[in-house]
Amino acid sequence: MLFPFSAPKAAQKRSVDNPQMRCGFNFVNCRRNADLLAQGYEPPKAIRTGTSIVGIIYKDGVILGADTRATEGPIVSDKNCSKIHHLQNHIYCCGAGTAADTEMMTLTTSAELDLHQLNTGRQVPVVCASMLLRRTLFRYQGHIGAALVMGGVDRTGPQIYCIYPCGSNDKIPYAAMGSGTLAAMSVLEHGWRPDLDREQGKQLVREAISAGVFNDLGSGSNIDLCVITRKGAEYLRTDTIASEKGERMGKYGIKPNTTMVTSTSVLSLLVTDERVSFGVSPFTSQSTLEQDQRPGTSGVQGADPKEAPGKEAEESNPPGASQKKSP
């Protein structure tokens, strides 16, 4: 939006440089998408991602939690994936959605926050990190699949931001995102209080992530925690194993390299018909081929000379013809 004092100058410059240039939103892509749909192209489908991430505020700081399962459709690609990303020493961020998008979003934002700290010479506020993430996500109109729960502690106190892929955000005391949101949020709404201490807050986050793990196939494996206070952050990698591998209950007494025979059956086969098939051997000698291709005495290729007179007699006297006897 242009300020009043700069609007006339901008309008004059626009008319001189490029008369067709207009400020504001551009809806060319909307018309393009409508044309593609009219031509029969299918619109892109939303991809379901699996994750359970949680963030709460307790009386001394912020606690973030996430599961460690990464999926590729129905396949579990990584059982111990780190979903809590470092932005600053006092700001951390949990990512849900496409793993590459969340990783690159947090890396680029962390670099921008480092430059901001060097330029200003002071601690970066949490709201500044939230603003950078919101602007980048809104610029791409939701095409970056990164749903984030960011938490940190600065001079204004502990803060939790829930940032959506379209660029909107919520500042709330507790948040949950990912495919296990419903189960995790039900636990948070039941057990969260503003006067929670450190151990109670960690236990509440564990229960929320466990609810998401056991009620969602896209979440699983371990639980990571990150506790942020004014003194610093403590990243607890693999704090709890939510879904342990089951143990085999049955015992089998089979020796190694042996197989138990449970039953034996014998089938009797009755031959009803026999058919003989002839084929040409691929290893036929060259002399045999030359002999077969040489014309015989009767003019028929490959004919036996001893059988030639008989064949001529048969050809001269076809069946049904009258035969004369000499006196």
Catalytic residues: 51
DSSP state of 210: H
Give the whole-angstrom CA distance, residue 207 versus residue 202. 9
Rounded Cα distance, 226 and 224, in Å: 7
C-alpha gyration radius of the chain? 41
Tokens of 258: 């042996």
Coil, strand or helix at 171: strand
CA distances from 85 to 163, 197, 265, 297 (A): 14, 24, 63, 95
Per DSSP, helices labelled H in 82-180 are 99-120, 126-139
CB 178 within 8 A of CB 147: yes
H helix or E strand, kind and range, residue 35: helix 28-38
Contact present, 222 and 216 (Cβ < 8 Å): no
Q: Report the length, in residues, of the chain.
A: 327
171 touches 45 (CB < 8 A)? no
Q: How far apart are the C-alpha atoms of 45 and 242, rounded to whole Å? A: 32
Where residue 256 falls (left for φ over 0; alpha for ψ -120 to 50; beta otherwise) is beta
Q: How far apart are CA 302 and CA 157, in angstroms?
A: 105
As a whole number of Å, the end-to-end CA separation of the chain is 131
